[in-house]
Structure 1
Amino acid sequence: MPSVRALLVTVLLSAWLLTLKAIGLLQYLLGTRFFTLDADSLVDEMQKKYGTTISLAQNPVWMNGLRLATSRANEECSQHQLYGKWRRKTFILGSILEPLLLTEAAVARHPDILDVPVCRPIFITGTGRNGSTLLHSLMCNYGNVKYLKMDECHHPIPYNKATEFDIKWYRERQSWWSDILFAGEELMLDLRLYSHPLSSSSPEECLLLLTKYLFWMPFLSFGGPYKAISWSLSRPTFALEAYRLFKRDLQVFLYYARQLNGISVVNTRYVLKCPYHMPFHDVIRQVFPDAVIIRLHRDPVEVVPSYSSMVQGLIRTGYPMKNNSQKKIGEDVMKWVDMCCKQMVDEGRDNGMIDVRYDDLMEDPIGVCAHIADTVGLEHTSDVEGKLSAYLERNPKHKYGIHSYSPAQYGLDSIEIRKNLATYCEMFNV
């Protein structure tokens, strides 16, 4: 049962969204424009709120990326879509600038954070839509592992030094985000059919952290994964810097977990997951020399329309846009899957990475996890196996409905997809 506060948040947020849409309609009828997103103004707004500066704002590459994200938002949101601009503004403030400022503040207060070891992290990658959410959720049940959570990615620490190690603050943070996510799923961000349930305490993707540096989430809302990644791929030097900053975030979380819960940062291993790690395996190995990389493989004829459907769902529920047809979405997703699959062919097999077939994971998820655990040095105990079984029982396939899609919906041909990626399909038996 949702809490009273969760229901109240839902009502208030609903009223606010209806107001925004009403004002946006009036704006459209009058032909006026209420506000334009401006990256420099948003940075100034956040710095004034906390009375400090965001040091990364002095990096011209990072600032140009933020300016590009806001300018695209202004272009893509037609004049009357006040709701769309408000969503983007709140995302940039709350998911990029505020957590970045809080992380920088933590490191400034505790420079020894940068000495915290990030030992043998496990990265789950691939094209996406390949069972990675299931595998990630299962692997996070093993002992001595840590995973990212929605609430800590958005609000890593309190800014007030007096409460930074107050466990009550962290419990309230989780409770508050539970209410926010309940309201979001009820009103505008129900992606459970396309992706996975949102929770303040369950394992979350790395996308929320990487977005602070590479702006993938704003770009993803402009049409698809290839558009989102193209900015990063054209800036390899900054991509390396971004992953070093990503490592700093992991060190912050470990440092505060040790202070709050007394966990051992030496024996704790991260289990991380995001398809957008895929093009940066070389960068990951530079920043995390002892990292374990798991690549998942699924028939691209299934991946492409599934990913396209997810992007379309994201656009519909959270980011109203113009000029974004199913065909354009399909073309962009096809570029992404083509790039990922061909990279995996170039990387080859038996290269120190672990390869997992989607079909094998679906047929025997516990067996696959046991094999991975044995390979990477995690203990597969009877207690862990019980947790895996319980998770699978609570989360059966199609729990939120059947996700239906086809290549033809997105202007694609299954024969052409398989023909174009025949080498990949043969090499990885998908």
Structure 2
Amino acid sequence: MSNAIRIDDLAHPRLTDVQRAAMAYGEQQQIDFSEAAVLAAARQRTGLTDFGPEDFRERLRLLLGEWGNDPDMTGSQRANLFGYLVRYASNRLLIQDQWQRHPGILEQEIRQPLIVAGLPRSGTTHLLNLLAADTRFRSLPLWESYEPVPLPGETLAPDGVDPRYRRCEEAWQGMQQVTPLLAAMHPMHPDHIHEELELMGPDFASYNFEWLAPSPRWRDHYYQHDQTPHYQYMRDVLKLLQWSRGPDRWVLKCPQHLEQLPVLRTVFPDATCVITHRDPVAVIQSAVTMLAYGYRMSRKRIDTRAIVEYWSDRVEHLLRACVRDRQCFPAQQSIDILFHEFMADDMATVELIYATAGVELTATTRAQMQAFVDAHPRGKEGKMVYDLKGDFGVDPAALRERFSFYFEQFPIRAEHS
């Protein structure tokens, strides 16, 4: 297999010259990792001062406290996370400003969205991008999810490119230089259709922060609090984006929805919910390999066993909630998709989804989807080879037993390396 990718230095990375230079530069940065510094930087970047409701500050302080006191975090990662928080705070200012200046935005309705929920690495990204190829739907490209509102006074460049797109492209190019194998695991091109979870970032909410850095305190806070207000915030940002340009029927996706199905139904009562199902062991080995690879730039010490234990627990929480709450979406508004069937015939899966959602699958739509598939062949960036036992010290068969409750509920096919 000529394009096979096997990462054999997850626990003890062999850094490239580019990676060593980036790490050294990061250690030289002096970051004021405080609430005051984040908010001041956001005010300076936007020229705005009204953050809206102040409850977000508690969540911001929690993140700053947990990340700021992490002794194993590298300087480059600290600078990276500070940038994330400043971007979210800036977006909050910009969004609040738009809502205030254009009150009609919040009078918009989000009608009958198609929402994909499923574990990370379970085909949700391919399915989302396939559905988004249908131009009758509104979707969320990565560049727009990162910066939903332009900076004040910012206009298109002379070549017609949005500065927000250019910033996203530059970040992607930089990521490819520093962590090149991420392209094979999780492409982040500006045009890539992204998760609406990003729109909860300005409310300093969602489980996304757990993917950025080890965040058990954040996870516990998230578990203990009703996520409805944050889903409502995200919905209202979707209204803003819909108001700025159409069409007005959305296709969305996020793995977090698996453990928030009742909240999802409350906030989007007429949604069609598409739930993908895959062997959790295959999901975990893919996710923890991706995380461990990225940690070479963000962690001074990589504990592969801790990574797999945390995310095995996290995946179990997602799936137990899904099994518990699956029936909150009625049959006429939901469909379960098996990963192996989707991989075998993705257009047959699309046909089932469209039939459930009451959407006509036209010849034009089929052509649009085929064009996407042709431009994004599977394995284009290479095929990852995993070794859960060798890299993480976990026996796949033993781990799979932990999820017997899930296999009993859905006819998932176990995947064996």
Q: Do both proteins adopt the same fold according to a TM-score greater than 0.5, normalized to the shorter chain?
A: yes
Structural mapping, 1:336-375, within 5 Å: 336-348=314-326, 351-352=330-331, 353-375=334-356
Partner of 1:194: 185
State which of 361, 381, 394 in structure 2 corresponds to 1:412.
394
Asked if the contact 1:122–1:293 (Cα under 8 Å) also holds between the matched residues in 2, the reply is yes
Partner of 1:153: 145
Asked if the contact 1:145–1:269 (Cα under 8 Å) also holds between the matched residues in 2, the reply is yes
Asked if the contact 1:295–1:355 (Cα under 8 Å) also holds between the matched residues in 2, the reply is yes
3-state DSSP of counterpart to 2:383: coil
Counterparts of 2:285 and 2:37, CA distance in 1 = 38
3-state DSSP of counterpart to 1:123: strand
Partner of 1:174: 165
- Alignment gaps of 5+ in structure 2: 1-16, 413-417
State which of 332, 356, 360 in structure 2 corresponds to 1:379.
360
Counterparts of 2:98 and 2:374, CA distance in 1 = 40
Matched, 1:141 2:144: no
Deviation at 1:329, TM superposition (A): 0.7
For 1:55, the aligned partner's letter is F
1:33-72 CA distance string (max 9 Å, x none): 944411232112322443432434621xx21221121222
Matched, 1:131 2:109: no
3-state DSSP of counterpart to 1:356: strand
1:181-228 CA distance string (max 9 Å, x none): 223322347522222x2222231122321233215444322237x776
1:93-124 CA distance string (max 9 Å, x none): 12x11111111111111011001111111211
- Alignment gaps of 5+ in structure 1: 1-13, 28-32, 258-262
Asked if the contact 2:276–2:336 (Cα under 8 Å) also holds between the matched residues in 1, the reply is yes
Asked if the contact 1:181–1:200 (Cα under 8 Å) also holds between the matched residues in 2, the reply is yes
Identity %: 20
Matched, 1:269 2:263: no
Partner of 1:21: 24
Deviation at 1:332, TM superposition (A): 0.9
State which of 64, 71, 90 in structure 2 corresponds to 1:70.
64
Counterparts of 1:414 and 1:303, CA distance in 2 = 11
- Pair 365,42 (structure 1): closer, same or farther in 2 beyond 3 Å: same
Asked if the contact 1:229–1:276 (Cα under 8 Å) also holds between the matched residues in 2, the reply is no
Asked if the contact 1:223–1:324 (Cα under 8 Å) also holds between the matched residues in 2, the reply is no
Q: What is the TM-score normalised by the length of structure 1?
A: 0.82
State which of 379, 382, 397 in structure 1 corresponds to 2:378.
397
Asked if the contact 2:18–2:177 (Cα under 8 Å) also holds between the matched residues in 1, the reply is no
1:352-408 CA distance string (max 9 Å, x none): 321000001100001101111121122211222122222222222222112122332
Counterparts of 2:157 and 2:32, CA distance in 1 = 39
Counterparts of 2:208 and 2:180, CA distance in 1 = 14
Counterparts of 1:427 and 1:15, CA distance in 2 = 47
Q: What is the TM-score normalised by the length of structure 2?
A: 0.85
- Pair 246,165 (structure 1): closer, same or farther in 2 beyond 3 Å: farther
State which of 76, 83, 88 in structure 2 corresponds to 1:83.
76
Asked if the contact 2:155–2:162 (Cα under 8 Å) also holds between the matched residues in 1, the reply is no
Q: Which has the higher helix share?
A: 1
State which of 106, 117, 121 in structure 1 corresponds to 2:98.
106
Asked if the contact 1:220–1:227 (Cα under 8 Å) also holds between the matched residues in 2, the reply is no
Structural mapping, 1:273-352, within 5 Å: 273-317=253-297, 320-348=298-326, 351-352=330-331
Asked if the contact 1:123–1:291 (Cα under 8 Å) also holds between the matched residues in 2, the reply is yes
Deviation at 1:147, TM superposition (A): 0.8
Asked if the contact 1:143–1:378 (Cα under 8 Å) also holds between the matched residues in 2, the reply is no
State which of 228, 231, 235 in structure 2 corresponds to 1:243.
231
